[in-house]
Amino acid sequence: MIVVTGGAGCIGSAVVWALNKRGRQDILIVDRLGSGEKWKNLVSLRYHDIVRPDAFISGLSGGSFSPGGIEAVIHMGACSSTTETNADYLMENNYAWTVSLAGWCLTHAIRCIYASSAATYGDGSAGYSDDEASCTQLKPLNVYGYSKQAFDLHVINRGWQHRLAGLKFFNVFGPNEYHKGEMRSVIHKAWQSISSGSGYPLFRSHRPDFADGEQRRDFVWLKDVADVILFFLDHPDINGIYNVGSGTASSFNELLSSVYLAMDLAPQIRYVDMPSHLRERYQYYTCADISRLREAGYTAPFTPLQDAVQEYVREYLMKGAWLS
């Protein structure tokens, strides 16, 4: 059986979808569904069972889940809000829980793949290399990034990077993010706002080296992310911490223009001031260095931004569709 924590979330449900495409249904989903619409991510998916995280952890310590019956743990479960300010909550949920789960996997020789984040890179002044030396020098800009960085450092300090795989996800977008509120991708927010006739404003730049809307991100298509995760599932001998991005930095101007074009509309771009509380914590540029991922043997191309946006808008957002 394969355990997918956060299996009802955006990336987690995409992993379950990708496994289903392979004909696998022997999947245990670990997640909280809450009172929102996250459950809709699971409607078209096939899996063995779903349990809450607290019940899963209790089952591990109490012996309810036999290590011999678990092939791998794909740990995508975490609070992914970059604006969350409760440090105790983030450290308990994103750090301590991951320490316990990864430790259990290593004790029982079970493949473990976990989600880190590009938020660990902070303002990017230390670069975007995922080699071990660089990972230890990073200074995140928010407590979410710090919670992810704390576990990466835990892995490196204990030598676990030789026994499990950590994946630093950049700006992931795609279907099954409908439940995420303000943490949805810009593509989803822009499509919704443009559809209502309101347009979608971009932040002005508050740095002289970036023009308005030319802040750049490494936007990566959800289906590509799921494919990378399954690559590491298929190769348990490949371990370490790796960037998962497209390897290309695109501007928000390009991104928004792609949304308009996918909707067969002429781009109309306007700018608003960035809220003052975000200005010191805002990443103006991110771009995954994926050279180590390529060296590890992952050779599939990443979907170009405009192609991915077009598929997302036309095949999912306009149709109100989920991965199926």
**CB–CB of 146/119 below 8 Å?**
no
> Among residues 200, 175, 171, which one has the least CA distance to residue 318?
175
Question: What span, in angstroms and rounded, lies between the C-alpha atoms of 90 and 37?
Answer: 23
Q: How many helices (H) and strands (E) does the chain have?
A: 12, 13
Q: Which of 200, 114, 92 is nearest to 163 (CA)?
A: 114
- Residue 217 in contact with residue 171, Cβ under 8 Å? yes
The CA distance from 78 to 14, in Å, is 15
Question: Residues near 247 by Cβ (< 8 Å), separated by ≥ 6?
Answer: 218, 287, 288, 289, 290, 302
Q: How many CA atoms lie within 13 A of 73 on its CB side?
A: 30
Q: Which of 180, 271, 282, 284 is catalytic?
A: 180
144 is catalytic: yes
Q: Rounded to whole angstroms, how far apart are CA atoms 183 and 173?
A: 10
Catalytic: 180? Answer: yes
Q: Contact at 8 Å (CB) between 114 and 43?
A: no
Give the residue among 41, 35, 30 at the shortest CA–CA distance from 72.
30
The whole-angstrom separation of Cα 300 and Cα 320 is 28
Choose, from 47, 144, 146, 298, the residue flagged as catalytic.
144
Cα distance between residue 61 and residue 63, in whole Å: 6
The residues that are catalytic are 144, 180
